[in-house]
Amino acid sequence: EANIVGEFGRIMGWADKYRTLKVRTNADTPYDAAKARELGAEGIGLCRTEHMFFESGRIDAFREMICSDTVEERETALAKILPVQQKDFEEIYEALEGNPVTIRFLDPPLHEFVPSDEADIEKLAKAKNKTVSQIKDIIQGLHEFNPMMGHRGCRLTVTYPEIAKMQTAAVIRAAINVKKAHPEWNLKPEIMIPLISELKELKFIKNIVVETAEAEIKAAGTSVEYEVGTMIEIPRACLLADEIAKEAEFFCFGTNDLTQMTFGFSRDDAGKFLDAYYDTKIFENDPFVKIDREGVGKLMEMACELGKKERPNLHIGICGEHGGDPSSVEFCHKIGLDYVSCSPFRVPIARLAAAQAAIAEKRN
């Protein structure tokens, strides 16, 4: 633990002796992953894959995929991303040195991915052999008034299953390569599907994941164990958690979206009317900072209970911003989560808060 030394290191060592809650990190670059490891993260609880698509060339390929007419064309476009995506995951696995890594499939608001610039639209038209006005029509067809409530997360995979195929192949190929280089590591990819609201969605996507993963493993003539789990971030998923647990091997609460959708408050518009609203003290805390125990927390408790009733060994974590907030960490301990996952610099606070929660529980 390069960055945690001296007295502070000693205190953190004590904290680790008492806590039962594991602390993971949210990281999607090898740099952040390594930083979080130095600060004591025991794994990655959320590797968002959205930003990876903005790197050179990839966004062009993604846009070509969206403007394709056939499955074959879509697969051809995504094949350009596969090798670089595989490399992303290899680097992350290397940085984590065999500790668990949960890779979440693509969850963009689609409007951030489509081109708005005339030059980009022209480039896309050329690549797809279409006219500029045909491309504009496609873009117009994808326009949404509420993108955060729309065509994102698993919904994107339901309409473009080729994305799940490509990302599964990248995860499995990366795991096979890293396993070869480090046979001593216990590498077990965890694939997480975002924005699930019911069993049928998860089944649909899990089928694609399993089919693709098995084909990759067979082609490589090796064996890889992997898990498929889901974000729980829509209130409906909490209500149907027993059904969803029939297929999900783990749950991870996305409390950013769960708070947004439980309150009907926009997570992207904090600081506007919400600040004035909190000032009225109608709410004691900003629910985007501390888990609202009466609503969001209740849904989480319900999801844990229902999920474990169906699958007693279900692993459950949290990867919303609340995973690094001490009072929320205490709540996560109380309801029996296995881990919290937070941004790298909040890992030490989460370790302390988890220890405090365990000690407080013993005292009571």
Report the residue number, 342 or 355, with the smaller CB distance to ligand PEP: 342
Structure tokens at 340: 């919290």
Query: Residues in contact with ligand PEP, total (CB under 6 A)?
Result: 10
Q: Scanning residues 11 to 50, which ones bind ligand PEP (CB under 6 A)?
A: 46, 48
At its nearest, how many Å lie between ligand PEP and the CB of residue 231? 7
Asked if 319 interacts with ligand PEP (CB under 6 A), we say yes
328-to-54, 176, 289 alpha-carbon distances in Å? 32, 37, 8
Q: Binding of ligand PEP at residue 254 (CB under 6 A)? A: yes
Q: How far apart are CA 19 and CA 361, in angstroms?
A: 11
46 interface partner picked from ligand PEP, Mg ion, none, CB below 5 to 8 A per type:
ligand PEP
Residue 182, both tokens: 């480090």
Region near Mg ion per CB under 5 A, out of 28-36, 60-68, 231-239, 301-309: 231-239
What Rg value do the Cα atoms of the chain yield, rounded? 21
Select from Mg ion, ligand PEP, none the partner in contact with residue 152, using the beta carbon and a kind-dependent cut-off of 5 to 8 Å: none
Out of 42, 88, 257, 338, the residue judged to bind Mg ion by CB under 5 A: 257
Residue 115 phi, psi dihedral angles, 5° rounding: -75, 145
If binding is defined by CB under 5 A, does position 235 make contact with Mg ion? Answer: no
252 is catalytic: no
The per-residue DSSP string of 16-49 comes to HHH--SEEEEE--SHHHHHHHHHTT--SEEEEE-
**Cα separation of 5 and 9, whole Å?**
4
Helix-, strand-, coil-residue percentages of the chain, each rounded to 5: 60, 10, 30
28 binds Mg ion (CB under 5 A): no
**Interacting stretch for Mg ion, rule CB under 5 A, among 91-99, 156-164, 233-241, 245-253?**
233-241
Asked whether position 256 contacts ligand PEP by CB under 6 A, the answer is: yes
Q: Which does 255 bind (CB under 5 to 8 A by kind): ligand PEP, Mg ion, none?
A: ligand PEP
Q: Binding to ligand PEP (CB under 6 A): which residues in 195-234?
A: 233
We find the least distance from the C-beta atom of residue 89 to ligand PEP, in angstroms, to be: 18
* From 135-143, 196-204, 252-260, 266-274, span contacting Mg ion (CB under 5 A): 252-260
Mode of pairing for the β-strands spanning 250-253 and 22-26: unpaired
Minimum distance of ligand PEP from residue 153's CB (angstroms): 8
**Spacing of C-alpha 260 from chain mean position:** 16
Q: Taking contact as CB under 6 A, which single stretch among the options 1-9, 17-25, 87-95, 255-263 is the one that binds ligand PEP?
A: 255-263
Region from 182-190, 234-242, 257-265, 322-330 binding Mg ion, contact rule CB under 5 A:
257-265
Nearest-approach distance from CB 311 to ligand PEP, in angstroms: 22
* Cβ contact 203:247 at 8 Å: yes
In the list ligand PEP, Mg ion, none, the entry touching 320 (Cβ below 5 to 8 angstroms by class) is: ligand PEP
Provide the terminal-to-terminal Cα distance of the chain, rounded to the nearest Å.
33
CA distance 180 to 94: 12
Coil, strand or helix: which one is 317?
strand
Query: Which amino acid would we find at residue 221?
Result: G
Of the residues 47, 319, 332, 342, which is catalytic?
319
Nearest-angstrom CA–CA distance, 336 and 23: 14
Question: What's the one-letter identity of residue 91?
Answer: E
The minimum distance between CB 137 and ligand PEP, in angstroms, equals: 29
Total length of the chain: 364
Q: Which does 338 bind (CB under 5 to 8 A by kind): ligand PEP, Mg ion, none?
A: none
Is residue 165 within 8 A of residue 123, CB to CB? The reply is no
| Catalytic residue set | 319
Point out which residues bind ligand PEP (CB under 6 A): 46, 48, 107, 233, 254-257, 319-320
